[in-house]
Amino acid sequence: MKIQLFNGEKEELTNLLCSNDWRYHSNPHLENGAIQKAVENGYYANGRETYWIILDTQKVGIIIIDDIDDTIPLFDIRLTEGARGKNIGTQALLWLKDYLFGEKQKIRIEGYTRADNLAMRKCFTKAGFVKEGYLRNAWENEDGTISDTVLYGAIFDDWKENRITQSKIDVLPY
């Protein structure tokens, strides 16, 4: 697997995003025109960095890093249906940690996923992220339903020391 900077390849991005089901995202079915307009309006560049996830020579996903200028960025990872279940999500998260902590000197990375997205939750854990919160009714889906959300975090000090420090969420009973 390799990671490559997105350079405005509108047609390829549209094809990837519109030809896959994103059932654990707010909007599981993206529309061609909306993606093309977002690229034209700089959504994937202004205040963000977007990267292709490439397996062999095929683009199988994207990583969008939001708030890239903040000390604590958020991100979105999307893998094509054919790329799921192959450890690519974990590898992408490990790359993300190396990039954001090593090159960008960020202090923390946060990621949110729907509570029922067990595959992504496993990826977070395998990549050394710590489950830090369970947020009830915190994910609004486009169809009007509400889902629970799980928050995962990774911190620079753990990355630097190659360790995992567990959350202190249960230290006090209140």
CATH code (residue 103): 3.40.630.30
Q: What is the pLDDT of residue 89?
A: 97
Q: Which residues constitute the domain of residue 31?
A: 2-161
Q: Is residue 170 part of a domain?
A: no
> What is the spatial distance between Cα 132 and Cα 171, in angstroms, rounded to a whole number?
13
- Report how far apart, in Å, the C-alpha atoms of 131 and of each of 36, 50, 103, 152, 164 are: 35, 25, 24, 4, 11
Q: What is the mean pLDDT of the chain?
A: 94
> What is the spatial distance between Cα 5 and Cα 70, in angstroms, rounded to a whole number?
19
Q: What is the pLDDT of residue 78?
A: 95
Q: What is the pLDDT of residue 26?
A: 82
pLDDT 10s digits, 37-86 = 899 898 998 889 999 999 999 999 999 999 999 999 999 999 999 999 99
Low-confidence stretches of the chain (pLDDT < 50) are: none
Which residue from 9, 5, 35 is spatially nearest to 20, judged by alpha carbons? 35
Q: Is residue 103 part of a domain?
A: yes
Q: Is residue 172 part of a domain?
A: no
Distant-in-sequence, close-in-space partners of 7: CB < 8 Å, separation ≥ 6 = none
Domain count, the chain: 1
> What is the spatial distance between Cα 78 and Cα 158, in angstroms, rounded to a whole number?
25
> What is the spatial distance between Cα 173 and Cα 130, in angstroms, rounded to a whole number?
20
DSSP state of 165: P
- Report how far apart, in Å, the C-alpha atoms of 41 and of each of 16, 108, 117, 164 are: 19, 28, 30, 39
Q: What is the pLDDT of residue 8?
A: 86
Is this structure's pTM higher than 0.75? yes
Q: Is residue 167 part of a domain?
A: no
Q: Is residue 168 part of a domain?
A: no
Q: Is residue 123 part of a domain?
A: yes
Q: What is the pLDDT of residue 131?
A: 97
Q: What is the pLDDT of residue 84?
A: 94
Q: Is residue 174 part of a domain?
A: no
